[in-house]
Amino acid sequence: MDPVTQSAQISSSQGFADGQNSATKESKLSDSFLSSSPVSLIQSPQAKDLIHWRDPKKSGVAFGLSLLMLLSLAAFSIISVVSYLLLALLCVTITFRIYKSVVQAVQKSNEGHPFKALIDKDVSIAPESFRKHVDASLTYINRALKQMSHLFLVEDLVDSLKLAVVMWLLTYVGAVFNGITILILADVLLFTVPPVYEKNKTQIDQYIDLARTQVNTTIAKLQEKLPGAVKRSKTE
């Protein structure tokens, strides 16, 4: 075999292998990020049990605390809320520490520090874990930048028009609600919609399918009429 041809084949094989390794690495990083993302947390069994009220006591506590936190942020500044929370935590721990010290002095026992088990616990972040999450976040950021380029540079006219409509609607939402109000509504919906959907799943799914079909039909007609629109059927 010609040495030049052999060298070209080896270089091509190495390039193909590097491409596969890069794709595999990106897929692993993406899976790692998704496994630690908020969406994954909501889909975890513990979170599902909370929002579906499997245990009313736990769900009630979680809903009450989250709603109280958001209402506090709506009434006070975030600095005040964080300061009061940390002050309350310090009051509890200091009071408990003094109480245990008095009890040990009265009983003449030597149990040691009441928080010794927590103090001895290793709370440091492993370098490997930190790097893994940083790499996963970088993959997510790169995908977001690519999507922004796709939308704002009008690679697909229909997608860019969708974004424009959504941003236009959000201007009206922003005129009525602020960010905290939206978070409060989202928190209430998070703990109320899943139980309602679970009880009326069949009827709700029928209406969702009808709405999805209507939207897809409208978008397909719009793609056919818009000049210069990039058809997905051709690009895929």
**pLDDT higher than 60, residue 75:** yes
| Count of beta carbons in the 10 Å neighbourhood of residue 151 | 16
What is the model's pLDDT at position 142? 94
Contact 115, 98 (CB under 8 A): no
Counting residues of the chain whose pLDDT is more than 70, the rounded percentage is: 77
pLDDT band at 90 (very low <50, low <70, confident <90, very high): very high
Strands (DSSP E) found in 46-202: none
CA torsion 196-197-200-204 (nearest 10°) is 130
**pLDDT higher than 80, residue 186:** yes
Going by the DSSP 8-state scheme, the letter that residue 1 receives in this structure is -
Average pLDDT over residues 53-77: 90
**pLDDT higher than 50, residue 97:** yes
The two three-digit tokens of residue 136, written as one number: 């996963």
pLDDT band at 158 (very low <50, low <70, confident <90, very high): confident
- Alpha-carbon distance 205 to 196, whole Å? 12
